[in-house]
Structure 1
Amino acid sequence: MNTFPQASPAPRPVHKHRTAALALLSLLQFLIAIDVTVVNVALPSIGAQFGADAAALSWVVTGYTLVGGGLLLLGGRLTDLLGRRRMFLLGAALFAAASLVAGLAPSLEALVAARFAQGAGEALASPAALSLIALLYPGPEERAKALGVWGTISAGGLVVGVLLSGVLTQLLHWRWIFGINVPLAAAVLLLTPVLVRPDSRRTRTGRLDLPGAALLTAGPLAVVYGVLERDVPAVVVGVALLGAFVAVEARAKSPLVPLSFFAHRTRAVANGATVLLSAALSATFYLLTLYLQQAMRLEPLQAGLAYLPFCAALLAAISQVSRLIGTLGTRRTALLGLALTGAGLAWLARLPEHGSYAADVLPGMIGVAAGMGIGLVALQNAALQGVTEHDAGTAAGVQRSVDQLGGSLGLAVLVGLAAGGAAQVSGFRAAFAWALLGVVIAGAGMWALAREREVRTG
């Protein structure tokens, strides 16, 4: 996949509306990011309405990220072949329609299906938006600034999603967490033809790796279903489908991910560490939300406000990452992020049955937030190390996919472990302990990379 523009014989003139176009493209990404976290505080209310337990509710979270992550690489390929503006509009329309269906869903099954469709909309729109930004800002420095704006707005969406969930759930109804997307996405659809140039009429040729995309989506879905339902055959089928994905990619003429891409050790380890860190972060959001509302008896609005320190720590950490990388290097900065996350998880692994927010929740929450802000950005940089114009799009797509799929698979496994506890909070403690083990393994991999580099340069 290559979401960056191909070289052209003559430079394109500067788009007179490109600042407005950047804001528009970022707005949809903001909505997409919001929907990753906006459901968390609303989950107990959704569960109460539909009579769903924690395992069933986790599909409301994982359904979105599983389908989005599984189809993201295919979305990038479709963008290259069929046109950037066209695929952006199609993805935005699908996301808007799915949001409307989610807000009106009469059952949990209908809600989960709508979340699947939202994920498919994201998989089409996000790669197209990145490519459009690259066309609008062709210079390396101005493109870096534009992508920085896009990334910052996306991170802001994750933060706003947590707060918005509590406000809308308590003051209006949980259905509004999806309904609010509809008018904003409609505005994107109306303004895109005005602010974004039409796609080039140049014919694009190439193959679509549809079997690979189907296997990469169906495999994780089967694994998650098997884990949550304690269905061993389903897990086996899911693992077999993922194995088939590797076999298909090895033989495909135009694979979604050339297996040679993972021959670069730093990229491979960084992507593996991202899976484990994302798993821990997704589980923390999910389980802490349930703990705040079910064990500590907070109202949805109170639970949303309880995440304010988390949001502040996350944004503060993100603001310091570039400085830390300049001082410590990418690998050691990633290690710092993993260490902070591990410290936070270790604190949360001792949650009492009826704890205090200030003493039992807040310290762990701050550690995880700081580790998330530093660790994920540093790992993203490591996963893009050594890329060229030829494989930059593939590297970015792989990193986004492992982030989302790792979070979904990890959440399913850890929620399954939590559900297996003798009591609810003891199950939470076990899940946080397993998440900590995953982060320690990720840290060991990055530490080995850092030591290897020191030996080579020393």
Structure 2
Amino acid sequence: MNALPTAAARPLADRRGLALALLSLLQFLIALDVTVVHVALPSIGAQFDAPTSSLSWVVTGYTLVGGGLLLLGGRVTDLLGRRRMFLLGAALFAAASLAAGLAPDLPTLVGARFAQGAGEALASPAAMSLIALLFPEPAERAKALGVWGAISAGGLVAGVLLSGVLTELLHWRWIFGINVPLAIAVLLITPRLLPADGPRTRTERLDLPGALLLTAGPLSLVYGVVEKAPAAVAAGALLLAGFVLVEARTRHPLVPLAFFTHRVRAVANAVTVLLSAALSTAFFLLTLYMQNVIGLGPLQAGLAFLPFCAALFLAIAVTPRLITALGLKYASLVGLVCTAAGLAWLARLPDGGAYAADVLPGMLGVAAGMGVGLLALQNAALHGVTEDDAGTASGVQRSVDQLGGALGLAVLVGTAVKGTGGAAATGADGFRTAFLYALVGIAAAALALLVAAPNQRQDEASQPVS
């Protein structure tokens, strides 16, 4: 059997397409694991005799650790090499997935989920910055990020479908086991498609205290919200304030505060927090509403997201053209308006609703907003990146995306559960309230975008990196 051609033997254009597919595959698995546990949670709880409050960490622990460490991952990527960190992150993600699938108890499973998040924190910013450098021209970068975003978003939806299928037909452990062979394939093929990193020319120290504070702060906040512990909420706020102080005083900050003086990036990341909070909440609550209120089974609820997936992919496909025609600011605003329309529809959900009339229209609006809004903001967050800060910019964007989603999920889902009297309740008062609060957040994001953001045309949307 002939060996696969090495990276040096392939034409650059061929390698870039294959490399994009490989980078997107791992991101698909990373996104998949955000949602793949939802339908399986009752089975996990039954096996480990765990209460709902403990099970929630199987979901939030992954995104909080991943989001909290993404800035460190971005910085490590810039300092130690993009391919090197992508491979290390993929290896950690594969090992942690295997540990989760074999976990003998809930603490081990939660620990494995934390480790999965750490693997993501290395792999995602490395992949995103590799894409930015492989596709330096603005138009081709927008298309490449569109492919990456579409596959990543597909992982979120596929997670719900696979969770029901694998849990019902096989066992919940297989929701983690499917990651292992695919991640191993990524590890084996990547060295043949991406050139090795150059020699290390920078020896800056890593800001480990900053990374610890940025991870512990959101964890404490979410714990305080979920467990209704004001002291934990206060501690989380203090830890995040400490993060700002550390970043301002350390010689080698995790992310230099001057990074946020770039107005396009700063506004894009701030708006992403609010949009991600609304999208994560809507995704989770729609799953809950369809099962607990409408009465769909797990597999039916997963299949009900197929129109969502189709609308999302269509929105992502047209977003590069919207960016070209409208610029980043107004393309992002289109995404926010679509999201707001979907949330407004969902904020009127009846107690005994129907999928086609009450859920589907709002679901499609949210899907369109997710596709257009996040992709346009992602391009804005990478505006003007260079070889020195591509990984940092990618890490910041992914971090605010995940932390915004996790914190929004904790606050707004807590509102929904409180309003309905529990996760198994059949009323929709709490759902309506949560969607209304999410709508208020989107309105604030749109106002911030209109007032504070300059509009970048497509030819200015990204600067070629050297």
TM-score bracket, normalised by the shorter chain, equals 0.7 to 0.9
**2:37 equivalent to 1:34:** no
1:33-92 Cα distance to aligned partner (Å, 9 max, x none)? 221222233334444544556554432222111111111121122233334343223211
Instruction: Map residues 102-113 of structure 1 onto 2, 5 A cutoff.
Output: 102-113=100-111
Report the Cα offset of residue 146 of structure 1.
5.1
Distance change >3 Å, CA 432–CA 109, structure 1 → 2: farther
Aligned length: 442
* Whole-angstrom distance in 2 between the partners of 1:266 and 1:403: 16
Partner of 2:324: 326
Instruction: Map residues 422-433 of structure 1 onto 2, 5 A cutoff.
Output: 422-423=420-421, 424=425, 425-433=428-436
Question: Which amino acid in the other structure matches residue 67 of structure 2?
Answer: G
Instruction: Choose which of 439, 451, 465 in structure 2 pairs with 1:436.
Output: 439
Checking the alignment, whether the CA contact within 8 Å between 1:44 and 1:290 is kept in structure 2 is no
Checking the alignment, whether the CA contact within 8 Å between 1:33 and 1:157 is kept in structure 2 is yes
Instruction: Choose which of 82, 90, 94 in structure 2 pairs with 1:96.
Output: 94
* Whole-angstrom distance in 1 between the partners of 2:313 and 2:135: 26
* Whole-angstrom distance in 1 between the partners of 2:136 and 2:262: 28
CA-atom RMSD in angstroms: 2.8
Instruction: Map residues 192-211 of structure 1 onto 2, 5 A cutoff.
Output: 192-202=190-200, 204-211=202-209
Distance change >3 Å, CA 77–CA 58, structure 1 → 2: same
Instruction: Choose which of 392, 395, 409 in structure 2 pairs with 1:394.
Output: 392
Q: Residue 342 of structure 1 aligns to a residue in which SS?
A: helix
Instruction: Choose which of 159, 168, 171 in structure 1 pairs with 2:166.
Output: 168
1:225-246 Cα distance to aligned partner (Å, 9 max, x none)? 1110001111111110000000
Q: Give me the TM-score of the superposition, normalised by structure 1.
A: 0.87
**2:445 equivalent to 1:447:** no
Structure 2 residue runs without a partner (length 5+): 1-6, 457-466
1:346-400 Cα distance to aligned partner (Å, 9 max, x none)? 2222222222111111111111111111111122233334545554443322111
Partner of 2:3: none
Q: Residue 264 of structure 2 aligns to a residue in which SS?
A: helix
1:322-347 Cα distance to aligned partner (Å, 9 max, x none)? 22223333222222211221121122
* Stretch deviating more after TM superposition (409-418 or 220-229): 409-418
* Stretch deviating more after TM superposition (281-290 or 348-357): 348-357
Q: Residue 421 of structure 1 aligns to a residue in which SS?
A: helix
* Whole-angstrom distance in 1 between the partners of 2:72 and 2:280: 24
Checking the alignment, whether the CA contact within 8 Å between 1:44 and 1:293 is kept in structure 2 is no
Partner of 1:5: none
Report the Cα offset of residue 416 of structure 1.
1.7
Checking the alignment, whether the CA contact within 8 Å between 1:15 and 1:136 is kept in structure 2 is no
Question: Which amino acid in the other structure matches residue 341 of structure 2?
Answer: A
Checking the alignment, whether the CA contact within 8 Å between 1:55 and 1:416 is kept in structure 2 is no
* Whole-angstrom distance in 2 between the partners of 1:153 and 1:109: 31
* Stretch deviating more after TM superposition (227-236 or 389-398): 389-398
1:265-301 Cα distance to aligned partner (Å, 9 max, x none)? 3332221111111011111111111222222222221
* Whole-angstrom distance in 2 between the partners of 1:53 and 1:346: 33
* Whole-angstrom distance in 2 between the partners of 1:82 and 1:386: 21
Q: Residue 98 of structure 1 aligns to a residue in which SS?
A: helix
* Stretch deviating more after TM superposition (343-352 or 391-400): 391-400
Partner of 1:62: 60
Q: Percent identity?
A: 72
Partner of 2:212: 214
Partner of 2:464: none
**2:112 equivalent to 1:114:** yes
Partner of 1:253: 251
Question: Which amino acid in the other structure matches residue 117 of structure 2?
Answer: G
Report the Cα offset of residue 131 of structure 1.
4.8
Report the Cα offset of residue 187 of structure 1.
2.2
Q: Residue 105 of structure 1 aligns to a residue in which SS?
A: coil
Checking the alignment, whether the CA contact within 8 Å between 1:417 and 1:427 is kept in structure 2 is yes
Checking the alignment, whether the CA contact within 8 Å between 2:81 and 2:198 is kept in structure 1 is yes
Question: Which amino acid in the other structure matches residue 208 of structure 1?
Answer: L
Q: Residue 74 of structure 1 aligns to a residue in which SS?
A: helix
* Whole-angstrom distance in 1 between the partners of 2:127 and 2:188: 16
Q: Residue 352 of structure 2 aligns to a residue in which SS?
A: coil
Instruction: Choose which of 74, 77, 86 in structure 1 pairs with 2:75.
Output: 77
* Stretch deviating more after TM superposition (63-72 or 343-352): 343-352
Structure 1 residue runs without a partner (length 5+): 1-11, 454-458
Instruction: Map residues 247-396 of structure 1 onto 2, 5 A cutoff.
Output: 247-396=245-394
* Whole-angstrom distance in 1 between the partners of 2:272 and 2:19: 31
1:200-250 Cα distance to aligned partner (Å, 9 max, x none)? 445542211111111111111110111100011111111100000000110
Partner of 2:462: none
Distance change >3 Å, CA 49–CA 295, structure 1 → 2: farther
Distance change >3 Å, CA 311–CA 44, structure 1 → 2: farther
Question: Which amino acid in the other structure matches residue 436 of structure 2?
Answer: A
* Whole-angstrom distance in 1 between the partners of 2:372 and 2:135: 27
Partner of 1:418: 416
* Whole-angstrom distance in 2 between the partners of 1:108 and 1:99: 14
* Whole-angstrom distance in 1 between the partners of 2:142 and 2:369: 24
Distance change >3 Å, CA 329–CA 249, structure 1 → 2: same
Q: Residue 419 of structure 2 aligns to a residue in which SS?
A: coil
* Whole-angstrom distance in 1 between the partners of 2:391 and 2:106: 36
Question: Which amino acid in the other structure matches residue 379 of structure 1?
Answer: L
* Whole-angstrom distance in 1 between the partners of 2:263 and 2:138: 27
Question: Which amino acid in the other structure matches residue 361 of structure 1?
Answer: V
Distance change >3 Å, CA 79–CA 269, structure 1 → 2: closer
